[in-house]
């Protein structure tokens, strides 16, 4: 059985994972949002005009993980068992670090779901704060950790 990404004519196809055994898969991804200190103080203090920025961003990140196959054409629809989105705010650097963890008992990994989750949570922070801070930027989106499946454990050596 072939697990190629292309058919005989070179067209992209969804990888056939039907012969793979399900295993517990976990992935953690991160994204960093850079804001003015004042904007971050308002987020942390709950005084942004649009409301609870991190609460809405958490929900957006969870929903995004579940919608990954709708956004990434060749990703497989997966039954996700856990999605968490956490934030670490640093007033000194004016950053919010988004960390998304996705877990499923599946035949393929959940890296894309974690990365989409972290990305959409970061974009939601941007959307909810753009009226107060036009200079917001989103930094590196990266996979920090993954386990499960044939390739085993991956741990990013340096954190973004």
Spatial separation of the C-alpha atoms in residues 117 and 22, rounded to whole Å? 22
Does 52 participate in catalysis according to the annotation?
no
Spatial separation of the C-alpha atoms in residues 140 and 157, rounded to whole Å? 15
Give the residue among 142, 43, 145, 151 at the shortest CA–CA distance from 91.
43
What crossing angle do the helices spanning 53-66 and 111-129 adopt, rounded to 10°? 150
E-strand stretches of 4-46: 23-34
What would you report as the CA-atom Rg of the chain, rounded to the nearest whole angstrom?
18
Q: Which of 7, 8, 127, 133 is catalytic?
A: 127
Spatial separation of the C-alpha atoms in residues 72 and 60, rounded to whole Å? 17
Catalytic residues: 127
């Amino acid at each position: 059985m072939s697990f190629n990404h292309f058919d005989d004519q070179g067209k992209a196809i969804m990888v056939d994972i039907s012969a793979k055994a399900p295993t517990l898969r976990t992935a953690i991804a991160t994204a960093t949002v850079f804001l003015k200190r004042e904007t971050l103080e308002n987020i942390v203090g709950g005084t942004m005009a649009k409301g609870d920025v991190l609460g809405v961003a958490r929900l957006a990140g969870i929903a995004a993980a579940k919608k990954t196959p709708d956004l990434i054409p060749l990703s497989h629809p997966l039954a996700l068992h856990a999605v968490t989105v956490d934030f670490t705010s640093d007033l000194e650097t004016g950053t919010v670090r988004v960390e998304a963890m996705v877990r499923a008992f599946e035949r393929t990994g959940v890296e894309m779901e974690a990365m989409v989750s972290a990305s959409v949570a970061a974009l939601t922070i941007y959307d909810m704060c753009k009226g107060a801070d036009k200079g917001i930027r989103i930094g590196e989106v990266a996979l920090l950790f993954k386990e499960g499946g044939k390739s085993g454990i991956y741990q990013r050596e340096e954190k973004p």
